[in-house]
């Protein structure tokens, strides 16, 4: 990564590893603050290519300068996630943002039933986004309806899942790796997976590991990004 004003204005795609409980907006603002402070810039175009939930970690692509024009292209790339489903319970948000609202027995589950259920979600899948999501309906975000306790009909939409691998089975926990299209909600996949198994499930851990050719292994946290500048002699 070239640490010069010109390179960031011309446009760079930064690989940021978003920390747990940070919003994508917080990570973006941290990077933007570092760049503006390092180069005494009053204005700098900065944007990210795909939001991660606060409870998720992993790869966030942040574009600077002229590279912000590439954001739609980057958003359309296939993504890879790893994480953990917790079987035998559900939550309204399909993750740990809300408390468990129902529990179910898991004694009937076997490795073969789990792997068979996973196979049902390969290819084109109709998915209903979580009510606790930022999708807009009638000019209002779904999570606003949910927090007000208002019922709202969420339309299903088609997504594509090219790979869905169970990497560890230790009921009630199941670790997974998924490759999927833009617009796929892994929280919804958790919920639908639990429903297919007749035991309920929610997402307890999520990390985005890849976006197209970009890998989280090459990413730095917002704090590490700031340290790169400090170590190179920039005053922040």
Cβ neighbours for 101, distance < 8 A, ≥ 6 positions apart: 90, 91, 92
Superfamily in which the 79-211 domain is placed by CATH: Pseudouridine synthase (3.30.2350.10)
Tell me the average confidence (pLDDT) per consecutive run of 10 residues in the chain, 236 residues long. 91 97 96 95 93 94 96 97 98 93 96 97 92 64 62 82 98 98 95 96 98 98 96 90
pLDDT of residue 128: 86
Cα distances (angstroms) measured from residue 76 to each of 22, 26, 71, 183 = 23, 23, 9, 9
What CATH code is assigned to 5-76+213-231? 3.30.2350.10
pLDDT of residue 147: 65
Residue 138 bears catalytic tag: no
Choosing from 53, 95, 175, 227, which is the catalytic residue? 53
Q: How far is the C-alpha of 97 from the C-alpha of 54, rounded, in Å?
A: 9
Identify whether the C-beta of residue 14 lies closer than 8 Å to the C-beta of residue 35: no
Q: How far is the C-alpha of 14 from the C-alpha of 36, rounded, in Å?
A: 15
Cβ neighbours for 93, distance < 8 A, ≥ 6 positions apart: 130, 131, 132, 146, 187
Residues spanned by CATH 3.30.2350.10 within the chain? Answer: 5-76+213-231, 79-211
């Amino acid at each position: 990564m070239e640490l010069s004003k010109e390179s960031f204005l011309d446009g760079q795609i930064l690989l940021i590893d978003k920390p747990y409980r940070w919003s994508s907006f917080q990570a973006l603002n941290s990077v933007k603050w570092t760049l503006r402070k390092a180069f005494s810039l009053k204005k700098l175009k900065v944007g990210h290519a795909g939001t991660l939930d606060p409870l998720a970690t992993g790869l966030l692509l942040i574009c600077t300068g002229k590279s912000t024009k590439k954001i739609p292209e980057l958003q359309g790339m296939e993504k890879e996630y790893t994480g953990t489903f917790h079987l035998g319970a559900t939550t309204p948000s399909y993750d740990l943002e809300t408390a468990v609202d129902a529990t179910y027995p898991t004694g009937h589950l076997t490795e073969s039933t789990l792997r068979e259920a996973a196979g049902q979600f390969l290819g084109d899948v109709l998915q209903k986004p979580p009510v606790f999501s930022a999708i807009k309906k009638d000019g209002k975000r779904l999570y606003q309806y949910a927090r007000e306790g208002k019922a709202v009909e969420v339309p299903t939409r088609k997504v594509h899942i090219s790979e869905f691998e169970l990497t560890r089975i230790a009921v009630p926990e199941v670790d997974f790796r998924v490759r999927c299209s833009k617009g796929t909600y892994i929280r919804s996949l958790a919920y639908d997976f639990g429903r297919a198994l007749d035991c309920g499930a929610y997402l307890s851990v999520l990390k985005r590991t890849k976006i197209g050719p970009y890998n989280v292994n090459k990413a730095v946290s917002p704090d590490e990004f700031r340290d790169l500048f400090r170590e190179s002699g920039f005053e922040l």
